[in-house]
Amino acid sequence: MEQLQYHEGRTEISQMGKAALIERITDGFRNRNISTVSSIGDDAAVLGEGSRKTLVTTQTLVEGVHFDMMYTPLKHLGYKAVAVAVSNIAAMNGTPRQVLVSVAVSNRYSVEALDELYAGIHLCCERYDIDLVGGETTTSRSGMVLTVTAVGEADSAAVTYRSGASLHDLLCVSGDLGSAYAGFLVLEREKVTYQANPNFQPDLSGLDYVLERYLKPEPRMDIVKVLAEQGIVPTSMTDVSAGLADSVLHICRASHCGCEVYEERLPIDYQTSRVCSEMSKNMMPVSCALNGGSDYELLFTVSQKDYDKVKTIEGIHIIGYITEEGMPAVMVTPQNTTIELRAQSFQGVEE
């Protein structure tokens, strides 16, 4: 039996960051099966030997890290757990087919609470024509942990990786950015106020959009569908789960390129602008868009030849273009200055 090797000293996980940690712990693993087409490094693994590929991905949501039960309805949580896993299938330009859901819960939760959680899971599965085909239910010493494995499929020619962007490709994003983080900020503000005064009655009028964006995100399967209808196969794609800057850097690293993103082209909803401005004089809406996370929009690149098609699609915004290898990923301000993009996701968003 091979002897396990232990290294002296201690490195804190927080020192490395998520991307570096994944690279370190997966170093040395090599694919041994011909059916493993693509593994670590994309939104989902790609499996299969024929022209039809299987996509597999896993997402874990941890109480106290990814959600707070003080303001998260269990039905919304169940829906969101499936939605964020399905978003990874969308990011590979695929169609979700099945999910497996594993739940670890403490004795703080009742049978009725789990009924509510699974009502949300059922609702999301029904909406996106997905089958719940298995999972695990076990106990937890504290809180709740939800793990969803999503299985999807796509034709080989349609599967889209982070690594396909080419020089001068257009950089596009769906929907709007920063709104989920704005919803999180509102909920955290109300939580603090309630803790100080349990008789406090929150006024959330006019904030429905940002609250729903955080509590009940939708995977952008509609964008996958409309791209296919227009005959557009993105050259690269990923979802926006930890902020636009993080997602842009994923594509640039995988595709060995740089990019220019134009600040004035970032799609930001007026509710997001309002919340960010109210929360802090230093909290600019563009910061919420770049680093807020939890939006689950699709960031993708298309060839210049598809410009006339993509520019007419409602809900898709062209925000920049790909530059050559060796160039940085930057944001160009309205004053024509450049700011290098860095991944610095804010606390409380998905990673």
pLDDT digits (tens, 9 = 90+) for 13-42: 777 767 777 778 888 888 889 999 998 889
φ/ψ (deg, to 5) at 95: -120, 125
- pLDDT for residue 177: 97
Average pLDDT over residues 228-245: 97
Question: 142 pLDDT band (50/70/90 cuts)?
Answer: confident
pLDDT classification of 228: cutoffs 50, 70, 90: very high
d(C-alpha 204, C-alpha 70), whole Å: 16
Percent of the chain with pLDDT over 70: 95
pLDDT (mean) for 141-164: 96
What confidence tier does 325 reach under pLDDT thresholds 50, 70, 90? very high
pLDDT at 1 exceeding the cut of 60 = no
pLDDT of residue 320 exceeding 80, the answer is yes
Instruction: Assess whether pLDDT exceeds 80 at residue 205.
Output: yes
Which residue type sits at 128?
Answer: Y
Structure token pair of residue 308:
């006339």
Would the pLDDT of 281 be above 70? no
At 333 the pLDDT is 97
pTM: 0.93
Q: How many CB atoms lie within 10 A of CB 337?
A: 10
Report whether 337 contacts 331 (CB < 8 A).
no
- Secondary structure letter of residue 3 according to DSSP: P
**d(Cα 175, Cα 297) in Å, to the nearest integer?**
6
